[in-house]
Amino acid sequence: MRRPLTILAAALVLCCVPASVAAPAPTAPVYDAEGQLVDTPFVPVPAEPVLNDERAIELALASPKVRDWVGRYPTEGLTKRATFDGDKRAWTVKVWSDLPDAGQIALAKVDDTTRQVTEAWTGPQVAWTMARGYDGAFGRKINDSAIWWPLCAVFFLGLANLRRPLSMRNLDLVVLLSFAASWWFFNDGQIFLSVPLAYPPLVYVLGRMAWIGVRGTRRDDGSRPLWPVWVLAAVTVFLAGFRIGLNVEASNVIDVGYASVIGAQRIVSAGEMPYGHMPVHEGEECGPPDVNGNVRDRIQTNGRCESANDRGDTYGPITYIAYIPGYLAYGWSGKWDSLPAAHFTALLFDSLALIGLALVGWRFGRGRLAATLPFAWAAYPFTQYVSSSNSNDAILPAILIFGFWLVTSAPARGLFTGLASWAKFASLLLVPLWASYPDGLRRPRAVVLFAGGFALATVLGFWVLLLEPDPVHAARVFWDRTFGFQLGRDSPFSVWNWGEYPGYPDLGTVQTGLKAALVAGALALAFRPRRKSPLQLAALSAALLVGFQLVLTHWFYLYLPWFLPFAAFALYAPATRQDQAATEIDERELRELVGASA
């Protein structure tokens, strides 16, 4: 009996001995017999920070990026503050300037242990996280070089004439792809390089489209692509499948797509218009903080825990209505999660654009154009950028494509122009041009029919305002949340708003003048050219959409697909008798006008 009792007592003693006594913490790395690391020394984390406020600020301001930017501001007007996060063992340093419209000008993170500056954001990067160049923030996998640059190569090789490297056809393709230079610097967080690089290709496309639109003809230099029709069609089918797979497996939903899903839910389930009813950053927190420590999920006035998107109601009503099928099919959890309804809608309108371009191509150019136009859309990397970001920016071109397909019907033109206009307001610039096709304003009946189609589109969009008990108040809220906000918004993604940054000119007056010129030009197109061919209609539509982007305060790469279908038609559609006749009439009228003036 003694031996079992002795063993039991020894076991009880071993169990009661503290771990620190039974197995003392190593003071050096411990390796097993094979030389593999099995334990590391215990280094206690100090309860108090190693650095103090002044030292953290000093280290942050010593960072070259922060030092160079803060040096642009008067020293006596700077306010600096440092706060310590004990859980992350890091300091957050913020710098403000008292100059008008300056506000916070720098944000830095300093590691308390290593004393290294781990993050440094200056200028527009402070308030705009999308300006920081986060990897894959827009579109995830589409930003990989292994996908982006092969798409660029396919786009160029499928449409280029390699027999004549210096042809105008190849120059057009190079310019359309040159937006990738701006995109590259944007992904690197270099906003002051990326933004200016977007303007030269926009100006080129505007000039090229305006020239084709006014002249009614296009110089091809005898150039033709090398790929036969069947190859273009086969590659387009392959790319269409690839695009769907990339969207489903390796994309994300940005705030634009999320806002559109919310709008559909508000209309269908809440029975209210989207305007003034977006989830906001107020109310009780009901979710975890994000990487920046901000809690997006809040209890809203409807009692639901929803992810905030305060400014998601800036789009036209047709945009939110377009997301209703996706919402009915997949619903919405209230959170900014995978949002299958947004994926569904992005893929739907991307597919509609491809189908519509095939129809347009067949109507105006038969097999070759029916293969070329969808290929241009499928291979152009910025259309996939829209799809992989699950943005709502394919809605406008998809609608207008079908309007162009039915261009000989005045009511159809008016309907589709109206639907596009009340999805994205840029299409409003096209109203005078499309209303006056093909014979200017010399056919009052056609103009009336166009107006009727546009009115029907307006009814189909704005019935959502009647969901509110006071339609007059609803109309006022709609204006404030859409046009009112867009006309007065700030953004670093154009040169027009850079006057608030030291060293950059205030171009507000120039922007206002260009806006006035754009509107005047859009109105003038109702009268000249007096007779418009399909080629001219496409080219001038592209010119107006590019002009709109040139004067925007908030410009982004997602807008490039707006004009691509019409630019592609203007560049690759074969000249028709109607094009030649329209040109002859315009030239004769121009000579008569010059003769009368003389």
* Residue 584 clears pLDDT 60, i.e. is over it: no
Grouping H, G, I as helix, E, B as strand and the rest as coil, residue 148 is helix
Segment 549-557 mean pLDDT: 96
Decide: 425 and 486 in contact? Cβ < 8 Å.
yes
Task: Examine the pLDDT at 596 and tell me if it is beyond 70.
Answer: no
- Note the pLDDT of residue 28: 61
What confidence score (pLDDT) does residue 473 get?
Answer: 95
Tell me what pLDDT residue 424 has.
96
Q: How confident is the model at residue 581 (pLDDT cuts 50, 70, 90)?
A: very low
Instruction: Determine the pLDDT at residue 598.
Output: 37
For residue 136, what are the CA distances in angstroms to 123, 187, 388, 389, 455? 22, 8, 10, 9, 41
Higher pLDDT, 204 or 164: 204
| Phi, psi (deg, nearest 5) at residue 107 | -145, 130
Residue 590 to residue 588: CA distance in whole angstroms: 5
- Which tokens go with 558? 């997602």
The pLDDT of residue 243 is 97
- What proportion of the chain, given as a percentage, has pLDDT over 70? 87
Q: Is the pLDDT reported for residue 440 higher than 70? A: yes
**Band of residue 135 on the pLDDT scale cut at 50, 70, 90:** confident
Q: Are 436 and 524 in contact (CB under 8 A)?
A: no
pLDDT band at 434 (very low <50, low <70, confident <90, very high): very high
Residue 78's pLDDT band (cuts 50, 70, 90): very high
The region of weakest confidence among 62-66, 495-499, 571-575 is 571-575
Per-residue pLDDT tens over the stretch 201-227: 999 999 999 999 998 887 765 566 778
At residue 84, what are phi and psi to the nearest 5 degrees? Answer: -110, 135
Which residues have C-beta within 8 Å of that of residue 226, sequence separation ≥ 6?
A: 157, 160, 161, 162, 163
Q: Which range has the worst mean pLDDT, 66-70, 130-134, 507-511, 577-581?
A: 577-581
Please give the DSSP secondary-structure letter assigned to residue 285: B
Mapped onto helix, strand or coil, the DSSP state of residue 580 is helix
- The reported pLDDT for the residue numbered 528 is 87
Q: H or E stretch including 121?
A: strand 117-122
Q: What is the pLDDT of residue 508?
A: 92
Residue 18 has pLDDT above 80, yes or no: no
Mean pLDDT of 552-576: 93
H-assigned helices in 406-443 = 410-421, 431-435
Q: Which CATH number fits domain 53-131: 3.90.78.10, 3.40.50.300, 3.30.450.20, 3.10.450.40?
A: 3.10.450.40
Write down the domain spans for the chain.
Answer: 53-131, 140-251+342-597
Rounded to the nearest angstrom, the gap between the alpha carbon of residue 125 and the centroid of all alpha carbons in its chain is: 17
Are the C-beta atoms of residues 212 and 583 closer than 8 Å to each other? no
